[in-house]
Amino acid sequence: MASSSSHIVLRTHDEVYLVENVNNQIVGSKLPSIKQVLSVLFYNLRHVKLNLRERARLVYKEIVLFWQKPRIQVRDEQHCNLKLEKLYQNLRELQKSAKRASEKNTINVSEFKEKLNNLLDVSHSNALSMMKIEEDKKFLLMQREKGRPGCMLGTDRNLAKKENRAYVNLQKNEKRRKRAKIKIEQLDHTVQIDFNTDNNSTEEEVDIEEEDIIPSLPSSSCSKKQRGSRDFMTPKLLATLDKCKLSDRDAVHIIISITDALSIGVSRHFGPEGHTWNEGTCHPEIILNNVN
């Protein structure tokens, strides 16, 4: 008798109003229904020593595992936990008023029973637009219908291999970027050191050069800058002047004009010493003195 009564107590302890039996995990090939989620939530409430918020977090993690299989984006944890807590409070209110025979209560219980096998939709508001595979989109739309028609098939091996290769390539590229970044930082550091070293050496050289420079004032004893001169009076030129039978005055004017045109000074000697034109008394030395 004692064993029979204890068996009844255990059976009642593992059952929940409208949800029926509680379970420690979600199973199946479909996305979790409201009934499955409440079953695991009540199991955690009765067998795990945690408060409602913490137990809702455990259920959320289990729900996410199912939604990740078809690659469907879900809402954040806070939003999903609030949804779970709201379902729990709704069921608790129906449980408290279970003995009432009012029409309103009957309608509420009937509506709650009808949606127990429906999907607990925790998908992102833009989940369909974020999904790339058309089959996954169709699966989500079917799961949102009454009774969640359809199921998840086995893993697509070809797609899994493709994603694995993409992941490996991504990791390799990330490692390359990190190595390149480290090399660039090292080169930049080296360039900065060399630049600072060059600046210091340049400043030292400038200081040394400035020390070596001794400013000097112009000496008053320096001779005045003289005009450059060039001896261009050759015997041939003198012979030509003689042959043309020019006067000494005309010859001097021609020579002065030539020197001005060539921007050179007149030599102190027109030619060989003692040379004269037309056996005259006007020697070249006298002419030069008159010119200069």
Dihedral sign (CA 234, 240, 243, 244): negative
Instruction: Return the higher-pLDDT residue of 252 and 232.
Output: 252
CA distance from start to end of the chain: 156
Would you give the DSSP letter of residue 265? E
Q: Give the tokens for residue 170.
A: 């991504």
User: Comparing 16 with 283, which gets the higher pLDDT?
Assistant: 16
* Span 240-263, pLDDT tens digits: 877 887 777 887 888 888 777 776
Collapsed DSSP state (helix, strand, coil) of residue 139: helix
How do residues 22-67 score in pLDDT, each as one tens digit? Answer: 888 999 889 999 999 999 998 888 888 788 888 889 999 999 999 9
| Phi (first) and psi of residue 36, to 5 degrees | -65, -40
Q: Which two tokens stand for residue 12?
A: 């009642």
Within a 10 A sphere around the Cβ of 265, how many other Cβ atoms? Answer: 14
Cα–Cα distance measured from residue 239 to residue 149, given in angstroms and rounded to the nearest whole number: 131
Distance CA 103, CA 266 (A): 139
Place of tokens 């112009």: 218
Domain ranges of the chain: 2-158, 229-291
Helices (H), 116-275: 127-130, 134-143, 157-212, 235-243, 248-262
